[in-house]
Amino acid sequence: MNIKFFIGLSLFVSYCSFAEMHWVKSENIKPAEVKTAKIIYSGEITPRQVSELISALDEINNDYPQADSIKIFISSFGGSMESGYLAMQAIKGSKIPVETINAGMTGSSATLLYCGAQKRFTLAESSFMLHPAASPNINTEWIRPNDIELLRKDVEDGNKYFKTVYKHCTTLSDEEIKKILYSNDSARYLVASEAEKIKLSQGTLAGILPTSVAYYITNDTK
């Protein structure tokens, strides 16, 4: 683990990195004085990235129990359905209230993560993508009846996540959700104002404010 110390403008901050998660913590503020922590999640929804997200949530809950909120800024086109669902449950289980903010694009399984919070917001020019689950046919070039059945079940299992979450996270009707989850031709691309109309988002925020405790999770391995 590398630890670097930066001193500037009377602010002493430690910077650490592990794998693809980085964090910045102010050293001149006591844990009890931390009221807001920030997590920037940028990249695919993968088991590894979600594990890092849950690690950050656990650390904030353990080290800063008197914090009022955890703000997660999301920029992701999606990825693993199961990982998105796991992230959603971790957000719901946080003792410190979590707010999610769409910070560019929140699409596909990233919407599961987004919907884990009771308070959900959007940066002005951000957008959402709601579409059906999909399954790659990676086992064979030739499709047989049993392959079709397995692919159908895989897609249906993925759509169950979307159907349940969108029913409680939006005001979309069952028929509208069914249409979205049937074909990419019926996918919904929503800007901030449209997301507010269906209660997916509760409002628009301006900018990302600095916090004394911040975590950065990306797919960049460099």
Strand residues in the chain grouped as ranges (E): 2-8, 11-18, 21-26, 36-42, 69-76, 98-107, 119-123, 127-130, 188-191, 204-205, 213-218
Domain of residue 209, CATH code: 3.90.226.10
Amino acid identity at 21: M
Total-model pTM: 0.85
Q: Across the chain, what does the average pLDDT equal?
A: 87
Give the structural domain span for 179: 2-218
Structure tokens at 141: 């070039």
State how beta strands 2-8 and 11-18 pair.
antiparallel
Per-residue pLDDT of the chain (222 residues; tens, 9 = 90+): 333 333 232 333 333 433 377 888 888 889 999 999 999 999 999 999 999 999 999 999 999 999 999 999 999 999 999 999 999 999 999 999 999 999 999 999 999 999 999 999 999 999 999 998 877 766 667 777 777 777 777 778 778 999 999 999 999 999 999 999 998 889 999 999 999 999 999 999 999 999 999 999 998 655
Q: Which residues pair with 74 in a beta bridge?
A: 41, 102
- The three-state secondary structure class of 23 is strand
Bridge partners, 120 (sequence order)? 100
Find all residues with CB under 8 Å of 173, minimum gap 6, and list them.
Answer: none
Q: For residue range 46-61, list pLDDT tens digits in order.
A: 999 999 999 999 999 9
CA nearest to 187, candidates 83, 112, 108, 123: 108
Count up the domains in the chain and report the number: 1
